[in-house]
Amino acid sequence: MKFVKVSNFLNEEKKQEYVEFLREFSNVFSWRYEDLKVCVKAIIYHTIPLKVNEKPFKQKLRRINPRFLPLIEKEVKRFLSTKIIVPLRFSQWIANLVLVRKKSREIKLCVDFKI
């Protein structure tokens, strides 16, 4: 059994439609990182278009509370093992990792691309 949150702004009829849809196609959704299939680059590929002659930008390193380092390491290892992210060496563009606390009190890893 899978648990999903459905918006409180929907009427009961719409909520029921969504629940039925999710039940019918539950095998299509990834419920955990480990369920994700490896991305086929011929189907899904993302690039960030850069302006011509734009200089690479490196953000100043932000300090992270050392208490969160084990959580960060665990999440990064999960992302690497499921190939959500891949190692990249010698990148000229660097953006900081930002920790965001979810409503469930869990920590979510995000990237701050603001300059």
What is the 3-state secondary structure of 7-24?
A: CCCCCHHHHHHHHHHHHH
* pLDDT (tens digit per residue) in 2-52: 777 888 888 999 999 988 998 898 888 777 777 766 666 676 677 777 788
pLDDT at 17: 92
* pLDDT (tens digit per residue) in 58-106: 888 888 889 999 989 998 898 888 777 888 776 777 888 888 888 888 8
* pLDDT (tens digit per residue) in 36-47: 666 666 766 777
Is 58 strand, coil or helix?
strand
Model confidence at 115: pLDDT above 70? no
Is 107 strand, coil or helix?
strand
Residue 13 backbone class (left: φ over 0; alpha: ψ -120 to 50; beta: rest):
alpha
Domain range list for the chain = 50-112
**CATH class for domain 50-112?**
alpha beta
Nearest to 75 by CA among 48, 114, 102: 102
**What angle (nearest 5°) sits at the alpha carbon of residue 101, between those of residues 99 and 107?**
65
